[in-house]
Amino acid sequence: MIPETQHKLIEDKVGAIGSLPTLPDVVLKITELVNDPNSSMRQIESVIAVDPVLSSTVLKVVNSSFYGMAQEISALRLALVILGITEIKNLVLSLSVFRLFSRGTVTADFNIKEFWHHSATAGQIARSLSNKLNLQFAGEEFVGGLIHDIGKIVLFKVLRNEYTEVLHRVKAEKIQLHEAELETFGFHHGHVGGWLGKKWHLPKKLIAAIVYHNNPTDTEEHHQLVGVVSLASALTHAAGVNTDTSMQALFIREHPALQMLLENTIGLDSIDWERFTLELGTDVQKSVEFVSLSQESLWKNSKQP
Amino acid sequence: MAQGENKDMQLSKDLFQYVRDYLYEESGLYYANYKKYLLEGRLLKRLSHLNMTSFNEYISYIRSSQSEDSELINIFKDIAKSESYFFQNTSQLKALTEWVIPELEEKKSEKHLRIGSFSADQGEEAYSLAIALHDFFGGHRKQWKIQIVGFFQESERLAMAEKGEYESYAIRNASRKHILRYFDKVGAGFQLNNEIRSLVSFQHCAGPEDLGYYGRFDVIFCRNRLMSLGYSLKQTLIRQLENALRLNGILFLGQMETLHNLEHDLELCHFPNTLAYVNKIQGES
């Protein structure tokens, strides 16, 4: 999935230094259960219930405008029935990654708040796009958007000084971030995110979306998810929450991810882009709610024993 | 009619989507879901003006044959009126100074910037542009030849714009710094000082066809004008605007306006929080 050369470079440069957080067991256990045809909903429910902070946060998000449910969903079991086990699995994954990385210092060079604002909006736009295109992702598109830039956090945490220099260069010279990263390290944040995703045993689809979001046409498989996440990330520019300072005007109809999606998706050419982008403010609002609600729920409760 | 509609006068979700889609198809103006409250407020004003008591009644009225298109025109007039103030769309001004001008600076050998304002206002936009550019260029402005032209079809509005005098309502979005720096208090209102007024010229323009006489522009602003025109006039105007743009020239519309349902050869492009259309075809000069 990640090119061999980059994988080795990252192992040497990032893996050797950093002690990176591991995903909680709950994510692995749920993934196993979801993939096991003999598992029961009761089993999945009890795995999530082991972590009361997580399960109450899942319910809060499910009942927020983020999902816009007509009725209140009062129990995990009901959420699993109504939204489906895959959707809930992906929500648990989203919340777990967010929990691991959402606290951090805000510096002039790396603003963790803006980072998550951009990422959650990309996730939400990916959801809207998938709805529009009738793509059945069951939540992978949201996680994909939410964690597509996770490699940036890793680079900032592990190689802070070198990475800060790269960020400065990007700002001053108006060059693309992933290309500046490639020049400096021999790999970019997509590679690093994919490398971490592999360590975390994330599905290959998601790893592809992370690795190729900057150059979507390089992917050999999972064209739809890669395309949707890449396009959603670009659209955050139109939504006013892009963290990439090098981007100028976005010509959505010329975006390579769109060209790739056109070849792989029926009905895409009928998207009214003016209408879609004028509606992006709704996606921004939803992602703000996701971030603030999850953060509040995960932190407030995390202080309890 | 839904029970209780008279009481709280809220636009139901279905009715909102119906009116929104109707406006969009007719005019290209799009009220996003999160801007429902804006449309609600806009329509309530019309309702009270017409002494109507329900949205249903009003919507039948918009669509009825006797009102033809005139009620839609009233809505558009209200929008144009309420959106005529200084710094109405800061995202567009930001796009201009942060992306469009730096790009021009790189590409153009001669530092010449021509901006046209063909908006439904009384010069607020042309002057906002002048202030934004004055701030942006500071002392370096001498290297640039900047021309801002405001076009008006109605001589009344032209005269108002030339005078450069506005009520305090029109400058509610201007910063204190801007007001102190660029405006003089005149009676109950404010007048722009010569520093800014000298940056803008105003032209009478009998119709879209006339735009052709004024050469080509790097950027054209055309706020809240297209929506109030009938289809064929709209089509004529957009083709004229297209012709008036230089290669890679950019057209900005009102905040919620689009070229939906119009035939054109411009390319949709996005800057943060604002969409625009770019001319990618080299025309005859």
Q: Which of A239, A252, A282 has the CB atom closest to B268's CB atom?
A: A252
- SS3 state at B161: helix
- Mutation for B interface: A252, A274, A288, most B CBs within 10 A: A274
Identify all chain A residues contacting B35, using CB atoms and an 8 Å cutoff: 281
Of A231-235, B143-147, B184-188, B236-240, least confident by mean pLDDT is B143-147
Q: Do B32 and A281 touch (CB under 8 A)?
A: yes
Q: Do B269 and A251 touch (CB under 8 A)?
A: yes
- Say yes or no: A278 contacts chain B, CB-CB below 8 A: yes
- Mutation for B interface: A246, A251, A278, A284, most B CBs within 10 A: A278
End-to-end CA distance of chain A: 40
Residue B247's H or E segment, with its range, is strand B245-253
- Say if A143 falls within a structural domain: yes
Q: Do B270 and A249 touch (CB under 8 A)?
A: yes
For residue B176, what are its two tokens? 């204190």
- Say if A301 falls within a structural domain: no
Q: Do A249 and B260 touch (CB under 8 A)?
A: no
pLDDT of B28 higher than 60: yes
User: A295 - beta bridge partners?
Assistant: none
Q: Which amino acid is at A66?
A: F
Per-residue model confidence as pLDDT tens digits over B125-158: 999 999 999 999 886 667 788 999 999 988 999 9
Chain B: residues touching A (Cβ < 8 Å): 24, 30, 32-35, 91, 99, 103, 256, 258-260, 267-273, 275-276, 278
- Say yes or no: A65 contacts chain B, CB-CB below 8 A: no
The pLDDT assigned to A301 comes to 52
- Say if A299 falls within a structural domain: no
Q: Residue B178: which of B87, B90, B82 has the closest Cα?
A: B87
Q: Do A275 and B258 touch (CB under 8 A)?
A: yes
pTM of the model: 0.92
Q: Which of B260, B267, B272 has the CB atom closest to A237's CB atom?
A: B272
Whole-number mean pLDDT of chain B? 88
Distance (Å, whole) CA B52 – CA B264: 39
Phi-psi map region of A294: left, alpha, beta (phi>0 left; psi -120 to 50 alpha)? alpha
- Say if A274 falls within a structural domain: yes
- Say if A297 falls within a structural domain: no
Residue B219 DSSP one-character state? E
Q: Angle between the A223-238 and A112-133 helix axes, to the nearest 10 degrees? A: 120
pLDDT classification of B1: cutoffs 50, 70, 90: very low
- SS3 state at B9: coil
Q: Which of A272, A275, A277 has the CB atom closest to B270's CB atom?
A: A277
User: B253 - beta bridge partners?
Assistant: B222
Q: Do B258 and A278 touch (CB under 8 A)?
A: yes
What's A81's domain CATH number? 1.10.3210.10
Give A133's contacts (C-beta < 8 A, 6+ positions apart). A228, A261, A265, A267, A268, A271
Distance (Å, whole) CA A125 – CA A279: 10
Task: Measure the CA angle with vertex B24, ends B20 and B25; round to 5°.
Answer: 120
- Mutation for A interface: B270, B275, B277, B278, most A CBs within 10 A: B270
Identify all chain B residues contacting A281, using CB atoms and an 8 Å cutoff: 32, 34-35
Q: What is the ipTM of this complex?
A: 0.91
- Say yes or no: A247 contacts chain B, CB-CB below 8 A: no
Distance (Å, whole) CA A34 – CA A194: 22
Identify all chain B residues contacting A277, using CB atoms and an 8 Å cutoff: 270, 275
Burial zone of B120 (CB within 10 Å; 0-12 exposed, 13-18 middle, 19+ buried): buried
The pLDDT assigned to B2 comes to 42
Average pLDDT over residues B4-26: 81
Q: Residue B85: which of B245, B226, B255, B270 has the closest Cα?
A: B255
Identify all chain A residues contacting B91, using CB atoms and an 8 Å cutoff: 240
* pLDDT by 10s per residue, chain A, length 305: 788 899 999 988 888 876 788 888 999 999 999 889 899 999 999 999 999 999 999 999 999 988 888 899 999 999 999 999 999 999 999 999 999 988 877 788 888 999 999 999 999 999 999 999 888 898 899 999 999 999 999 999 899 999 999 999 998 888 899 999 999 999 999 999 999 999 999 999 999 999 999 999 999 999 999 999 999 999 999 999 988 777 789 999 999 999 999 888 876 767 899 999 999 999 999 999 999 999 999 887 555 43
Per-residue model confidence as pLDDT tens digits over B33-45: 999 999 999 999 9
pLDDT of B66 higher than 80: no
Q: How many CB pairs under 8 A join A and B?
A: 67
- Say yes or no: A253 contacts chain B, CB-CB below 8 A: yes
- Say yes or no: A279 contacts chain B, CB-CB below 8 A: yes
Q: What is the CA radius of gyration of chain B?
A: 20
The pLDDT assigned to B138 comes to 81
Total count of domains within chain A? 1
Alpha helices of chain A — where are they, by DSSP H? 4-10, 25-35, 41-49, 52-62, 76-83, 85-101, 112-133, 140-147, 150-158, 160-173, 177-185, 189-199, 204-211, 223-238, 256-264, 273-278, 280-302
The pLDDT assigned to B132 comes to 94
User: B166 - beta bridge partners?
Assistant: B190
Distance (Å, whole) CA B156 – CA B165: 13
- Say if A298 falls within a structural domain: no
pLDDT of B7 higher than 60: no
Q: Do A279 and B33 touch (CB under 8 A)?
A: yes
Identify all chain B residues contacting A275, using CB atoms and an 8 Å cutoff: 24, 30, 258, 260
Say how many residues make up chain A.
305
Distance (Å, whole) CA B249 – CA B222: 13
Q: Residue B219: which of B77, B138, B120, B119 has the closest Cα?
A: B119
Q: Do A249 and B256 touch (CB under 8 A)?
A: no
- Say if A50 falls within a structural domain: yes
Task: Measure the CA angle with vertex A58, ends A57 and A63; round to 5°.
Answer: 95
Q: Residue A62: which of A43, A82, A48 has the closest Cα?
A: A82
Question: What is the percent of chain A with per-residue pLDDT over 90, rounded to a whole number?
Answer: 70
Question: Are residues A259 and A253 in contact, defined by beta-carbon separation less than 8 angstroms?
Answer: no
- Say yes or no: A250 contacts chain B, CB-CB below 8 A: yes
Report how far Cα B254 is from the mean position of its chain's Cα atoms: 4
- Say yes or no: A246 contacts chain B, CB-CB below 8 A: no
Residue owning tokens 């929506």: B227
Residue of A nearest to B267 (CA): A251
Distance (Å, whole) CA A259 – CA A280: 21
Residue B112 DSSP one-character state? E
Parent domain of A43: 4-291
Identify all chain A residues contacting B252, using CB atoms and an 8 Å cutoff: none
Per-residue model confidence as pLDDT tens digits over A159-186: 999 999 999 999 888 889 999 999 999 9
The pLDDT assigned to B140 comes to 66
Higher pLDDT, B245 or A268: B245
For residue A265, what are its two tokens? 């998706």
- Say if A219 falls within a structural domain: yes
Q: Which of A237, A239, A274 has the CB atom closest to B268's CB atom?
A: A274
Phi, psi of A275 (to 5 degrees): -65, -45
Residue owning tokens 């803008």: B200
Neighbours of A221 (CB within 10 A): 11
Say how many residues make up chain B.
285
